[in-house]
Structure 1
Amino acid sequence: MNSFLDWFILYVFAGCILFNLGLILILWRVFRSAKKSAPTQSGICTGLSVIIAAKNEAGRLPFLLSALENQKPVSVPFEVIIVNDASEDSTPVLLHKASLKYPWLKVIDLPQSSGKRRALTRGVEESQYNSIAITDADCLPQDGWFRALVNNFNQDYDVIFGVAYSEINDNYVSRIGSYENFRGTLLLLAAAYLKIPYSARAANFGFKKASFHALGGYHSTNDSISGDDDLLIREAFKAKMKIHYFTDESSFVKYFQKTSVFDYLRQKARHTGSSHHYLFLHQFILTYWHAMNIFGQWAIIFAPFSVWFLWLTVLKTLFDAVITSLFERKCGYKFPLIDKFVIPFIYEFFIEVNFFYSFFRKSKW
């Protein structure tokens, strides 16, 4: 071994250890702080408006409506506005029947498909209250979701977000997607704790209407067809608004993973495409983090030059398994033991694939 290689391996080893130990410490503080009851100011949140854009979701909507009906009572009035974006299935009929059953449900029909952002904007314009929550039509909020939203709005935050998770099943594409979401959630929470938030899960997202308008609404995020959540956070971060997260289990929102490779790649390309429009600070941090992890994954290839490259891959694999074991349940997951060692390799590979695929794939609503 020459001296340059010695120093290079030492640098990468130190970086791997420090970054992963730092992530563990930050996440421990994230979930520890969530157990403490933050002081709230009654009267800040005077009502809650939940906005949902729906397009051809007739199969999922009955389950969503049931989950919303079963929310624990909150101390403020609420409404649910579902914007039907020119659905071609039975979504309009289902929604209008439901509006007769649920007094809190308001349905808006758009005659022509205008995209998710415009559908959400229309819902915000029609809402009664200043506290706005967003979720997707194919999601299932847990029964404490409304309470968590109201509690956080009563702490006078401009933008809030929570945890979204998916069930782990036998479909391997779905399991890869679940792991990708889990790892992404950890990074989102860590960044928000460090006061450098860069994204959120659109399935569990909220903001003050006044703050939304102050940012120019979704017009300020039109540089990408996706990213109604993370690019709005980009603008809120630039404006120095108060952004916070909540992690209590009763506030989780369940969503359904894609089960085919093509659908998964298409979805992730859309999400990854919005990352091209992040602020330089966030791009730099994420690039450094992912580059270290990807190098750690492939370091074993250079083992013929030094056995320490092999140990670097082993170290990276062990850290992945430890972090997963420590925090999986706090994000709604429980991965099989073998997945904790195997899926991280596939996950890092798909990060590379999704990144390049996002340049060539045109996203659709």
Structure 2
Amino acid sequence: MIALIFIIIVLLYLFLIGSLIYGFDRVEDFKLKDLKPKTKFSVIVPFRNEAANLPILLNSIFKLNYPKTLFEVILVDDDSEDDSVKVITTIKSKKTFGCTSTSLSEHAQGDIKIIRNNRISNSPKKDAITKALKIAQYNWIITTDADCVLPKYWLDAFDEFIQTNQPNCVVAPVTYNDGSSFLKRFQILDVLSLQGATIGGFGLKLPLLCNGANFAYRKSMFESVDGFSGNDNLASGDDIFLLEKFKKANSKKIFYLKSEKVIVTTKSVSNLSTLIQQRLRWASKTSHNPNWFSKLVGLIVFLGNLTCIAMLPVLFFGQITTRVAVALLVIKLSIDFLLLFKSSRFFKQENVLFSYVWSCLIYPFFSVYIVVLSLFKPYKWKGRTFKK
């Protein structure tokens, strides 16, 4: 009986991941056509205690190829306790960081704004985005994070995609940029699997994930769905819940921008403790997500990982044969690898696949641990504690 349950779970897992792989291939790569830039953007960056990362972000902003007259940057200080604001003002006053003096001068004249967050809910980040939206000059909003690096043709790709497809909302790729240790490669593999599932969901016309570090939408759409109202009691989910609202308003106007020109890179965390807190933050919004497909995916993935863990004791007590156990593990690990291979090839991070063997042994335990822990434990982030 136990063997039959395990077989059913693994077959469901195989069908799910296989479907996401099929969906991944259905999303076509977007190629730039050198169209004349037209779209005006307001780039919103909430930050808290990011003095070490802001120079890198601003440097990438100064290097953007897009006409400086067609975008603004709104940096929202969420009660930083370090020198974040001072760092920004110092950079704005200098003609440095690898950009020409002309481009930096244009930004310093007003294209980069710094405002303070106004806490009105349990979600500081949602409050920060909402406040920035109120003063945003342009209808197209793009959110990103202070620890990110933006590619040179980031806004060019968004602009051409918007001109070509006339969307209301665009989800775009995010990955980690440092694989110097096993822990960091483990995180890259994890985020690649999430990005693979994100793209696959769009290919199946069942979008289930997005990332606020590379997320664009019309300001008018944000206002028409009443922004974050209804979920601002949850600290996280500034991206997922908004995506669900946009889907409900008009699912045909939501797209994934699959282009290497728009890949935003960000930092992985440096230690296991912080990684656990980060994953608890991500997991905290799962039960509140109204998307049935997202919940189904989460359940099957959880059961698939739980089956891997349970295989050893069940095998030890003779409830399943070695041949069946090995076959089920090979099926799961193979389909996981195929999704990771496709995702890593798109992100040009195939080198992290060398850490797959060790990661796939650890991941089921890590994943199940996070799910169980998230049911009753609050999480800490940016010096604050948040309840589920």
Compute the TM-score of the two structures, normalised by the length of structure 1.
0.88
- Which amino acid in the other structure matches residue 233 of structure 1? L
2:98 aligned residue: none
Q: Does the residue aligned with 2:364 lie in a helix, a strand or coil? A: helix
Q: Does the residue aligned with 2:269 lie in a helix, a strand or coil? A: coil
After superposition, give the CA deviation of every residue in 1:324-347 in whole Å (9 maximum; x if it has no partner).
223312134224454222212322
Q: Percent identity?
A: 22
Structure 1's 299 and 326: CA in aligned 2 closer, same or farther, altered over 3 A?
farther
How far the C-alpha of 1:356 sits from its partner, in A, is 2.2
Structure 1's 309 and 167: CA in aligned 2 closer, same or farther, altered over 3 A?
same
Work out the CA distance in 1 between the residues paired with 2:7 and 2:311. Answer: 15
Structure 1's 14 and 213: CA in aligned 2 closer, same or farther, altered over 3 A?
same
1:356 aligned residue: 372
Structure 1's 355 and 300: CA in aligned 2 closer, same or farther, altered over 3 A?
closer
Work out the CA distance in 2 between the residues paired with 1:238 and 1:187. Answer: 20
1:212 aligned residue: 222
1:172 aligned residue: 182
Work out the CA distance in 2 between the residues paired with 1:168 and 1:312. Answer: 33
1:186 aligned residue: 196
1:156 aligns with 2:166: yes
Mapped contact 2:228–2:238 kept (Cα < 8 A): yes
Worse overlay, 336-345 or 306-315? 336-345
1:56 aligned residue: 49
How far the C-alpha of 1:278 sits from its partner, in A, is 0.7
2:385 aligned residue: none
1:200 aligns with 2:210: yes
1:316 aligned residue: 332
Mapped contact 1:83–1:109 kept (Cα < 8 A): yes
- Which amino acid in the other structure matches residue 271 of structure 2? S
- Which amino acid in the other structure matches residue 261 of structure 1? L
Structure 1's 354 and 332: CA in aligned 2 closer, same or farther, altered over 3 A?
farther
1:108 aligns with 2:124: no
Q: Does the residue aligned with 2:144 lie in a helix, a strand or coil? A: strand
Q: Does the residue aligned with 2:211 lie in a helix, a strand or coil? A: coil
Structure 1's 133 and 13: CA in aligned 2 closer, same or farther, altered over 3 A?
closer
How far the C-alpha of 1:314 sits from its partner, in A, is 1.7
Q: Does the residue aligned with 1:49 lie in a helix, a strand or coil? A: strand
- Which amino acid in the other structure matches residue 150 of structure 1? D
Work out the CA distance in 1 between the residues paired with 2:22 and 2:250. Answer: 25
Q: Does the residue aligned with 1:235 lie in a helix, a strand or coil? A: helix
Q: Does the residue aligned with 2:285 lie in a helix, a strand or coil? A: helix
1:122 aligns with 2:105: no
1:344 aligned residue: 360
1:261 aligns with 2:268: no
Structure 1's 13 and 139: CA in aligned 2 closer, same or farther, altered over 3 A?
closer
Work out the CA distance in 1 between the residues paired with 2:288 and 2:142. Answer: 24
How far the C-alpha of 1:6 sits from its partner, in A, is 7.4
Structure 1's 336 and 47: CA in aligned 2 closer, same or farther, altered over 3 A?
closer
Mapped contact 1:324–1:340 kept (Cα < 8 A): no
Work out the CA distance in 2 between the residues paired with 1:119 and 1:219. Answer: 14
Structure 1's 148 and 311: CA in aligned 2 closer, same or farther, altered over 3 A?
same
1:132 aligns with 2:149: no
- Which amino acid in the other structure matches residue 342 of structure 1? W
1:331 aligns with 2:347: yes
- Out of 65, 70, 91, the position equivalent to 1:72 is 65
1:19 aligns with 2:16: yes
Mapped contact 1:272–1:358 kept (Cα < 8 A): yes
Work out the CA distance in 2 between the residues paired with 1:133 and 1:195. Answer: 22
Mapped contact 2:9–2:304 kept (Cα < 8 A): no
Work out the CA distance in 2 between the residues paired with 1:55 and 1:278. Answer: 26
Worse overlay, 173-182 or 329-338? 329-338
Q: Does the residue aligned with 1:132 lie in a helix, a strand or coil? A: strand
2:101 aligned residue: none
- Out of 255, 259, 265, the position equivalent to 1:248 is 259
Higher relative contact order (CA 8 A, sep 6+): 2
Worse overlay, 184-193 or 264-273? 184-193
Mapped contact 1:86–1:112 kept (Cα < 8 A): no
Structure 1's 212 and 344: CA in aligned 2 closer, same or farther, altered over 3 A?
same
Mapped contact 2:244–2:291 kept (Cα < 8 A): no
How far the C-alpha of 1:162 sits from its partner, in A, is 0.8
Work out the CA distance in 1 between the residues paired with 2:198 and 2:245. Answer: 16
Aligned length: 358
After superposition, give the CA deviation of every residue in 1:16-56 in whole Å (9 maximum; x if it has no partner).
443343332221222xx124679x9x89x641110111211
